[in-house]
Amino acid sequence: MEKEVHPLVQLARKAVESYVKEHKILMPGKLSPEMKEQAGVFVSLKKHGQLRGCIGTFEPNQPNVAEEIVRNAISSAVGDPRFSPVRDSELDDLDYSVDVLTSPEAVESKAQLDPKKYGLIVEAGYRRGLLLPDLEGVNDADTQIDICRRKAGIMPSEPVKLYRFQVKRYR
């Protein structure tokens, strides 16, 4: 028996399939209450358990979560610079997850971080690195901070501002 797929994940899948197969940007139809909200959203694609694309927004850039999902799902599939664009032949092998972010809140120290519960944004000037929560191999705040610094090109000696956020993860 197949498990039921959450509507946010269904939307991400439909957006990717529409774009890859037909080069069309899906326009969301009837929106559920959670799709009408505004929030940052990350869409992650995995193929056979390995990351295949992950793109998102720290804060909302679209009028609602549905449009945020569509844009970020397409970007994850064809715009993640770490990977070649997803091909039509790969679509059946992809697993999707959608993370809807809470608004980031500033924290005073790493003691307020918990990489299993909170995602992290590390900021120095205009450079920002983000890491989602509850990722395999990220078990402590120091590792989380280090990864965020590297993603943003922030040297270990540079002072940073820390922001934490939570996600609702849909698979």
Output the domain CATH number for residue 28.
3.30.700.20
CA atoms within 13 A on the CB side of 16: 35
- What is the predicted pLDDT for the residue at 170? 96
- What is the predicted pLDDT for the residue at 125? 96
Domain range for 31 is 7-101
Q: Does residue 2 have a pLDDT over 70? A: no
Q: Does residue 28 have a pLDDT over 80? A: yes
Please write the tens of the pLDDT for every residue from 136-155: 899 999 999 999 999 999 99
Q: Check whether residue 82 and residue 20 sit in a common domain.
A: yes
Q: Check whether residue 20 and residue 74 sit in a common domain.
A: yes
Q: State mean pLDDT over 107-116.
A: 96
Of 171, 168, 128, the C-alpha closest to 37 is: 168
Residue 1 within a domain: no
Q: Are 165 and 1 in contact (CB under 8 A)?
A: no
Q: How confident is the model at residue 4 (pLDDT cuts 50, 70, 90)?
A: confident
Alpha-carbon distances of 129 from 9, 38, 162, rounded to whole Å: 25, 21, 10
Total domains, the chain: 2
- What is the predicted pLDDT for the residue at 1? 55
Q: Which of 83, 101, 119 is the last residue of a domain?
A: 101
- What is the predicted pLDDT for the residue at 29? 87
